[in-house]
Amino acid sequence: KQEVTQIPAALSVPEGENLVLNCSFTDSAIYNLQWFRQDPGKGLTSLLLIQSSQREQTSGRLNASLDKSSGRSTLYIAASQPGDSATYLCAVRGNYGGSQGNLIFGKGTKLSVKP
Amino acid sequence: DTEVTQTPKHLVMGMTNKKSLKCEQHMGHRAMYWYKQKAKKPPELMFVYSYEKLSINESVPSRFSPECPNSSLLNLHLHALQPEDSALYLCASSHRTGDTEAFFGQGTRLTVV
């Protein structure tokens, strides 16, 4: 059974700092990995999608990497801003079994960027 | 347009009420999903529709009844809910189940009293 773990559970940094969020998964048989942002009480906003054949994706100040063989992904945020404060969720889509294609989520990293 | 629209945004219902949650997308996606999210927990999959057919029911109690009347709409009918069913209900869609990007709505905050 696929399990997704995110470390750290919470992170507080001063504005302007570069930071890395970590995600690990136990089963490398995945279609893709997706990073989301969730503001309190709101829905999920898709940040980056990395297909299993890709190594990284970039969008603005965000860069996500994927090492499928080791079951790891990182989300790098450059020059953090207070507006980046949110919970960041990592999710993988498995490519086999009864739940094929469904997103399995980690518990998230709650990020706080202090002005 | 990458928007998934959910209505209502907030819903308070009694344990004997019947209500429905609605979800709509116009991206031509043929896979639609319902997730339940409790406070400080990740979303948990409830149902998956693929080409308007229910393909996955993650052992959800029958007091939750999904419906997909067409390729753009997804409903979740609620009846005789319990207070522990209070949560954020999220709808998502993707081109198909599998290797495509998922887009989520803003959710319906449900409170059962």
Q: Going by C-beta distance under 8 Å and a sequence separation of 6 or more, which residues neighbour residue A115?
A: A15, A82
Best of B90, B95, B99 to mutate (most A CBs within 10 Å, chain A):
B99
Closest CA to A48 of A35, A60, A39: A35
Closest approach of B39 to chain A, Cα-based (Å):
9
Q: What is the pLDDT of residue A96?
A: 67
Give the span between the Cα atoms of B46 and B74, in whole angstroms: 13
What's the pLDDT band for A98 if we cut at 50, 70, 90? low
Asked if residue B73 lies in contact with residue B23, where contact means CB atoms within 8 angstroms, the answer is: yes
Mean pLDDT score across all residues of chain A: 93
Q: What is the pLDDT of residue B59?
A: 87
Q: What residues in B contact A99, CB-CB < 8 Å?
A: 45, 56
Mean pLDDT score across all residues of chain B: 93
B41-70 pLDDT tens trace = 999 999 999 999 998 888 899 999 999 999
Give the span between the Cα atoms of B14 and A92, in whole angstroms: 36
B91-110 pLDDT tens trace = 999 998 877 899 999 999 99
Rounded percentage of chain A residues whose pLDDT exceeds 90: 83
Residue B58: both structure tokens together: 């993650």
Asked if residue A95 has pLDDT above 80, the reply is no
